[in-house]
Structure 1
Amino acid sequence: MNKFMKSGSNIEHEAFLSLWLSRFVFPSAAGYDTIGKRVLPIAILLAKGTKIALAPAVLASIYRNLTMLREENQNDVSPLTILAPFQLIQVWIWERFPALGPNPNRLEYGEPRLARWHMVNKLNLKNIEFDVATSGKCFLWRPYIMAGTNPLIRNLYGETENWVLVGPRLVEVVESFARCLRVSELVGLDCMEQYSPHRVSMQFGMDQDVPRKVVFRSNRNPEIAWENYTRPILDAKLYIPSRCSQSCVTTQYFEWWKKLGGSRIVVKEENDNFPPEFPPKRVGTMANMFPSIPPGFSP
């Protein structure tokens, strides 16, 4: 960057974007100050003003690394190098488990959601298992709907629920929401990962139904997977819940969950090291009706 900054070079912007992509979006295995070859075409297109969907590739890399962490924990072998923007996982936890996170910054109008956590003082959690177990009582399914200063959120979630006819002139923020609800395969720079939003419907303001298995037809071909992801959203009505709605579970899901034999017993048997308060109990009118593990997660 020292070579290109204020040099007047025709590729100064491409150089900056290449460094930004390699350092913060798609970290390179070669090191913090190394530019990955695969980000160069992306940087060139971005510098030309071409709109590119980076989120699917970023989420694919996070999913892949989470899988690697799980397998590493099961095998307990050599140390593992993680190459994904895991700061997004950290923010995801802080947003949905307020008791685990620091006090966020005040979000000014037009600022991105991540600005709430810029330069905050992290909490010193001595017993992370206990803190996670007990903080479940205040789990937030949709923390972003409280961001009244974000115009995108205000344009998407209204005070009342809404049905939107999906067509070729769909508003961009609504189209993005529709793609977030659609089962697909995420194509990353060097990986492909399955995306199953129906397993966590309550995070989108929907009632949780039985998370059925989906068979993908791409045969691990990234071109086919990307064509499927980007196919037009047509001839359908999209339900957008209100900002104030509180999702729950369907009757079918509740009956299916009961047939598993009781989530509390299974969790206790598999996690003997957790404190007596685990799993955390639900609060409110639904506390006596539904199991205490969030719908969509395995017992």
Structure 2
Amino acid sequence: MSRYGPEDPSVLHYQHSHISRKAWAGQETASFNIRRFEGHFWEIDNHHRRVIDYVCRFGLGGVLFCGKALDVDHALITALVERWRPETHTFHLPVGETTITLQDVQVLWALRVDGVPFTGNGFCESGWRGLCEELLGFYPLQSEMKENGILASALIHRMAIEPLGDGLEDEAYIQRARMIVLVLLGGLILPDGSGCKIPLMWLTQLRDVEAASMISWASAALATLYHNLCEASMGKRSDIGGPTVLLQLWVWERMPTLRPDFVAARIHTNNTPCALMWTGSYMINRAPKHSVRHYREQLSLLQNNQFIWMPYVDRQLPDSCLDMNNSWRSVTYIVCWAIVEAHEPERVVRQFGGTPFISELRDWGFNETHFKTNRRGKAKTNWAVQNKAYIQYWERRSEFVTNAYMEPLADHMQVMRTRQYMEWYFKITITYITQPGRLPEVGMNTVASASTVQMSVAFRVLGYRPLLLTPSIVDSRSLLQHSRFQHLRLMESHRVAAGNPSYVTSAHYNKGSGGRGRGIETKDNRQRSRGNGSTSSGNDKINALGRLLTRILRHQASDLNLGMRNDGYVKVQDLLKLNLKTMANIPLRSHTVEEIREAVRQDNKQRFSLLEENGGLLLRANQGHSIVTVETESLLKPILSPEEVPVCVHGTYKKNLESIRREGLKRMQRLHVHFCSGLPRDAEVVSGMRRDVDTLIFLDVRKAMEEGMKLFVSDNKVILTEGFDGVVPVKYFQKTESWPQRRPIPF
């Protein structure tokens, strides 16, 4: 098999294990089996109105209202998995990165976004059958149980043969509503690999109706979908769980060329969830649509005018489908019991009306073992405790709302930024899933790589823009007669045959004076001429090392048994023994002491300190810890007088002011509340405040110290305090201003 990959591998560092390699090798990807088993539930049409009311109060009324979804197209989901990138939680399509976000989940199914994560204890002391009797109203037979779950068929059968009448106690209707919620969760929203079994640990979170109504069902659904897509794309499964129905609805909303032909036109009904629009009957008159090869080609040929970036913008939606707190654009962790995934809407800002930009690859602390996460052998785990750090991050989601490139731009600026993004994007992505070098077959199921590479290369050679090329406009076979194209095609075939590690079709035909061609220069040749030791790749390697060290030293040293001292120092030689990889996919143990020194030197936020002691080298993070074994007095220098701190300011965002007014400044999961000794643009402020803050809170240092608050300063000049019991009360605020306008904000 020819080796291939992106020109710049800094983003797609899991490509060596990705399922798309099978298609490149000429192996046909078998369609994934779709896990879904709520079908017979929809045959029950006599649910009592009070039961439906309680289902709505639990938060699943939108899903129930939309009714039975159409069958999932296994081939479509399989083709999407080939385009899914676990590194970024996005689909890599010819139009750029795109993904299903919290917005889509809420708009389509009216599932709540803002709320507490769906998680809890996986163990029940009283026994699961006893819990069923208490909360579902019946004691299940042993044959209806499977390990720590209950068969969906048992719940559906009981609802079908025992309809509820009027005049019953409230608890009877609540118990029946819990059955419906469990079936919808296990069969449609959160189906997993347990067959038709519904985990009864979910029932523990449905005890109290009001508490359950505050669960973020949308984040649970999306986390489950992301996790299953990641597993499938890494070749870990032959079937796929999660809300694949939701993913299919997302495709139909945004890619009209992949929709089936419905008998009646699809029109959104005002004040209803958008999923309702995609029910009904459609005509099965194009058999190739159920072919993985067909969908693979259609995705490879997708153009900008065939992708709808903002499908919901003109629809009149109910309040249950609206985002009240900008959580749709929050860059945060999303949690569902054992599953933890990353939500990165900043990578797809065009879906929110923004301009695409080159976003950094965030270090979420995941590696390849993350995609194998499951509950097997962990029946007694309290997942709320296990994933506490991620849950706390979710609780602070309002602090991480992406505002990057959301401002309106003049048309020429928007075009320029989009062009810059696409130039970068085509370097870091896999442009073609299957190998070029052969003519497309006749018919609908042509091989996308062959037709696409021929036409796109030809357009570059002939001086046209490849994004404007469509099969309906240009016949790729006619282009083969052009002499320049024949020459370039020959070169491309030689490169593929030679096992080129990065299949790049971006070639340049340079014209000199008088229109005479000077020759053809490929990007691969230019890359080879630079050599392998470029400054850019070296910086990326060191930068990734610094990010990993920051995470370890601030948050993970105790879990990794590094023997961290109370002043935060650990031995560098112990760090270099860890079996971890950086985001550049380089094992930590392959780095050297000198590279760690270089990571410290290059860190522009001065987050590290090195210490040579007794012939050994030690390293620590200067601040930002969540590890409780670190002692403040040993880590930081105490501030003894208010005169030492003429300015003490905390940066935040206007959207957080209401909660700060009520509760003060809280340290959250870290050991300290962070302040700076200057404003965001001051040269001496290198750490302790984000550059995009829009609100400044100034601390009355004298008053705070006089009343017993201890303040400290780190080696990188960040001012830190534990406050009182982890909180800096509002009464110690000197003033609050907007930034950068510096206008007073009443507080």
| TM-score when normalising by structure 2 | 0.30
Identity of matched residues, %? 17
Which amino acid in 1 is paired with 2:395? T
- Residues 139-218 of structure 1 correspond to what in structure 2 (within 5 A)? 139-147=307-315, 149-152=316-319, 173-175=323-325, 178-216=326-364
Which amino acid in 1 is paired with 2:423? K
Structure 2 residues without counterparts, runs of 5 or longer: 1-154, 289-293, 371-385, 437-446, 457-463, 469-503, 505-747
Give CA deviations for 1:27-48 in whole Å, capped at 9, x if unaligned.
243333x332232123334476
- Residues 248-267 of structure 1 correspond to what in structure 2 (within 5 A)? 251=416, 254-255=419-420, 257-258=422-423, 267=431
Distance 1:109 1:236 in 2: 28
Query: Counterpart of 2:187?
Result: 23
CA positional deviation for 1:151:
4.2
The answer to whether structure 1 residue 83 and structure 2 residue 241 are counterparts is yes
Give CA deviations for 1:15-73 in whole Å, capped at 9, x if unaligned.
222222222222243333x332232123334476632101111111111111111111x
- Give the match's secondary structure for 1:187: strand
CA positional deviation for 1:212:
0.7
Decide whether aligned partners of structure 1 residues 41 and 203 sit closer, same or farther in structure 2, where only a CA change above 3 A counts.
same
Query: Counterpart of 1:159?
Result: none
- Give the match's secondary structure for 2:392: helix
CA positional deviation for 1:112:
0.8
Distance 2:280 2:416 in 1: 44
Query: Counterpart of 2:200?
Result: 37
Distance 1:236 1:132 in 2: 30
Contact 2:267 2:277 in 1 (8 A): yes
Higher relative contact order (CA 8 A, sep 6+): 1
Query: Counterpart of 1:110?
Result: 271
Give CA deviations for 1:238-277 in whole Å, capped at 9, x if unaligned.
69979xx99985756644653677689x625965241524
Give CA deviations for 1:272-296 in whole Å, capped at 9, x if unaligned.
2415246999xxxxxx88968xxxx
Which amino acid in 1 is paired with 2:218? A
Query: Counterpart of 1:138?
Result: 306
Distance 1:38 1:66 in 2: 24
CA positional deviation for 1:85:
1.1
Query: Counterpart of 2:611?
Result: none
Give CA deviations for 1:195-216 in whole Å, capped at 9, x if unaligned.
2111111111111111212234
CA positional deviation for 1:217:
7.2
Range with bigger deviation, 196-205 or 250-259: 250-259
Distance 2:280 2:195 in 1: 24
Which amino acid in 2 is paired with 1:97? M
- Aligned mate of 1:3, from 158, 162, 187: 158
Decide whether aligned partners of structure 1 residues 28 and 38 sit closer, same or farther in structure 2, where only a CA change above 3 A counts.
farther
The answer to whether structure 1 residue 96 and structure 2 residue 254 are counterparts is yes
Query: Counterpart of 2:176?
Result: 12
Contact 2:232 2:239 in 1 (8 A): no
Decide whether aligned partners of structure 1 residues 246 and 46 sit closer, same or farther in structure 2, where only a CA change above 3 A counts.
farther
Distance 1:291 1:259 in 2: 15
Which amino acid in 1 is paired with 2:358? V
- Give the match's secondary structure for 2:243: coil
Contact 2:227 2:341 in 1 (8 A): yes
CA positional deviation for 1:97:
0.8
Decide whether aligned partners of structure 1 residues 190 and 99 sit closer, same or farther in structure 2, where only a CA change above 3 A counts.
same
- Give the match's secondary structure for 2:240: coil
- Residues 215-230 of structure 1 correspond to what in structure 2 (within 5 A)? 215-216=363-364, 222-230=387-395
Distance 2:403 2:208 in 1: 31
The answer to whether structure 1 residue 120 and structure 2 residue 281 are counterparts is yes
Distance 1:144 1:67 in 2: 27
Structure with greater Cα Rg: 2
- Give the match's secondary structure for 2:347: helix
Query: Counterpart of 1:129?
Result: 296
Distance 2:330 2:224 in 1: 19
Distance 2:359 2:432 in 1: 23
Decide whether aligned partners of structure 1 residues 268 and 129 sit closer, same or farther in structure 2, where only a CA change above 3 A counts.
closer
Contact 2:330 2:345 in 1 (8 A): yes
The answer to whether structure 1 residue 276 and structure 2 residue 451 are counterparts is yes
Distance 2:214 2:398 in 1: 18
CA positional deviation for 1:184:
1.1
Which amino acid in 2 is paired with 1:53? S
Which amino acid in 2 is paired with 1:36? P
The answer to whether structure 1 residue 63 and structure 2 residue 231 are counterparts is no
Decide whether aligned partners of structure 1 residues 234 and 133 sit closer, same or farther in structure 2, where only a CA change above 3 A counts.
closer
Q: CA RMSD in A?
A: 4.2
Query: Counterpart of 1:167?
Result: none
Contact 1:63 1:193 in 2 (8 A): yes
Give CA deviations for 1:120-176 in whole Å, capped at 9, x if unaligned.
3165351223333344341111111132x32459x97xxxxxxxxxxxxxxxx230x
Which amino acid in 1 is paired with 2:158? K
Contact 1:184 1:194 in 2 (8 A): yes
Distance 2:318 2:411 in 1: 22
Decide whether aligned partners of structure 1 residues 234 and 94 sit closer, same or farther in structure 2, where only a CA change above 3 A counts.
closer
Which amino acid in 2 is paired with 1:3? R
Give CA deviations for 1:86-111 in whole Å, capped at 9, x if unaligned.
01111111111101103453222211
Distance 1:30 1:236 in 2: 35
Structure 1 residues without counterparts, runs of 5 or longer: 157-172, 282-287, 293-298
Decide whether aligned partners of structure 1 residues 47 and 262 sit closer, same or farther in structure 2, where only a CA change above 3 A counts.
closer
| TM-score when normalising by structure 1 | 0.69
Decide whether aligned partners of structure 1 residues 81 and 6 sit closer, same or farther in structure 2, where only a CA change above 3 A counts.
same
Distance 1:70 1:92 in 2: 18
Contact 2:356 2:421 in 1 (8 A): no
- Bigger strand share: 2
CA positional deviation for 1:186:
1.2
